[in-house]
Amino acid sequence: MRKKDSSLSRRYFLRSVGATLSLPTLHSLVPGSFGVTSALGAAVAKKASPARMVAVGNLLGFQLPYLFPETEGKAYESTRLLKPFQDLRDDMTIYSGLDHGVKGGHFAVHSFLTGVLSMDAKGRPEGNISLDQLAAETVRGETRFPSLTVGSESGIHGGCQMSWTRSGVRVPPIPGPKELFQKLFIGESKDRLAATRDRHSLQGSILDAIHGDAKSLERRIDKEDREKLDEYLTSVRDVERQLQLKEQWVEVPKPDAPFEQPKNTNMVEDLPLLYDLIALALQTDSTRIATLEIGGDFEPKDLGIQKGYHSLSHHGKKQENIDQLLVIEEHQLKHFARFLEKLKNTSDGEGSLLDHTSVLFGSGMGNANSHTNHDLPILLAGGGFQHGSFKKLPAKGPGKVPLCNLYVSILQQFGMERENFGNSTGSLV
């Protein structure tokens, strides 16, 4: 039996202190139009347009027979759910047959951007880090926010749980347009700035103390505990790096607000405004990476439908239920198409914002009625890819292609030298 001494209690102390240290948000600013200004304008104007990434996830999937065309290639017909994209055909690609090969129904939706069930992530080199968070690691310090996760987690089954760090921690979403607006445009008061500086100083002191205690402790623990301590100190060093980056942007003003602060209403009515704010975040270079979760609080009653979204998704193949689901899905896709149009019509260096932004749209749910997670609805727009077609890939068998192959291509287009991600077997485009 291991002897219990002060080293054991000190190890617990280190962990308890570490639990109070949340990873800080990174800050920077790059101005765009919409009347947004900052002191960094002149310097930023000289830079080339950076690559950007947006991922939009839906909790309950879509009615695939009304989404996927029958005809492959560039001559594909416009289905009911694709009608909003008539003027965007050359800017997007539709994929069928892609998924992660996972099972679990509603509780596997969280694998949409990771390719990995959280329960299976332990022992993997990068855990279940999501596509957006992996990309965000490459731009820390260059933008005010390394990434923005947006959406609500209320309602049946909560949110889509799309964004995950490499340590397996879920990144909670910003719940509404009011909070997102405040994050993007509302600056800190003098008192809050002073409190922030004090907090940074205190965190730095705690980190110094942890390092001192750890160095003393390391000489008196066994190999197993030393490995655990090394893992913890790796996390501490990551906190230190992010704290340093955060400190350098405390004094940098945020962009000027282009309109009055909005109020939160409901997810149905707020959806277009959330898209507008994400577009502004990209244009002002407040971030280059954003995700949007359309979760269980997307209430059909706000579209004049009395049945609940989740209950309708279990339609039992009744056409009456399917027709009401299609109204919900048309609303979501209409505003996604509007978002793409906004990016396409926004100048960004030598091209448009859409040219420089890879925009992924889909769901971790293939068929909510049967609780399956295969053959996911996937759309990819912008980002400089060759678009304009419907690609029907094998849904099973030896020619099956993992969705993570597409993610490898997105990461490469973002500028990362990656040959793998999740359960990928290569790249796709």
User: Please, which residues bridge with residue 34 across strands?
Assistant: none
pLDDT at 85 over 80: yes
**pLDDT of amino acid 159:** 74
Dump pLDDT digits (tens) for 142-187.
898 999 999 977 655 667 899 999 888 899 999 999 999 999 998 8
Read off the DSSP letter of residue 297: T
pLDDT at 40 over 60: no
Dump pLDDT digits (tens) for 182-234.
999 988 656 665 665 555 555 556 556 666 666 666 666 776 776 666 666 66
pLDDT band at 140, cuts 50/70/90?
A: confident
The residue-averaged pLDDT of 39-56 equals 68
**pLDDT of amino acid 137:** 92
Q: What is the CA radius of gyration of the chain?
A: 23
**pLDDT of amino acid 299:** 82
Q: Which of 361, 363, 359, 358 is nearest to 374 (CA)?
A: 363
Window from 191-205, 238-252, 293-307 with minimum mean pLDDT: 191-205
**pLDDT of amino acid 211:** 62
Q: How far is CA 139 from CA 123, 245, 287, 306, 327, in A?
A: 26, 11, 9, 44, 38
More confident position, 123 or 71: 71
Structure tokens at 389: 């077609």
**pLDDT of amino acid 141:** 81
Between CA 113 and CA 116 the distance in angstroms is: 8
Between CA 320 and CA 302 the distance in angstroms is: 18
Q: For the chain, what are the domain ranges?
A: 1-28+189-252, 31-187+258-413
Share of the chain above pLDDT 90, in %: 61
Dump pLDDT digits (tens) for 362-399.
999 999 999 999 999 999 999 999 999 999 999 999 89
Say which residue the tokens 């655990």 belong to: 228
Between CA 229 and CA 211 the distance in angstroms is: 11
Say which residue the tokens 């790059």 belong to: 30
Instruction: Please state which CATH number belongs to domain 31-187+258-413.
Output: 3.40.720
Which one-letter amino acid corresponds to residue 415? G
Between CA 46 and CA 10 the distance in angstroms is: 51
pLDDT at 26 over 50: no
Per-range mean pLDDT, top range of 140-154, 162-176, 310-324, 402-416: 402-416
Which pairing describes strands 52-58 and 289-294: parallel, antiparallel, or unpaired? parallel
Dump pLDDT digits (tens) for 328-366.
999 999 999 999 999 999 999 999 999 999 999 999 999
- Mean pLDDT rounded to a whole number for the chain: 83
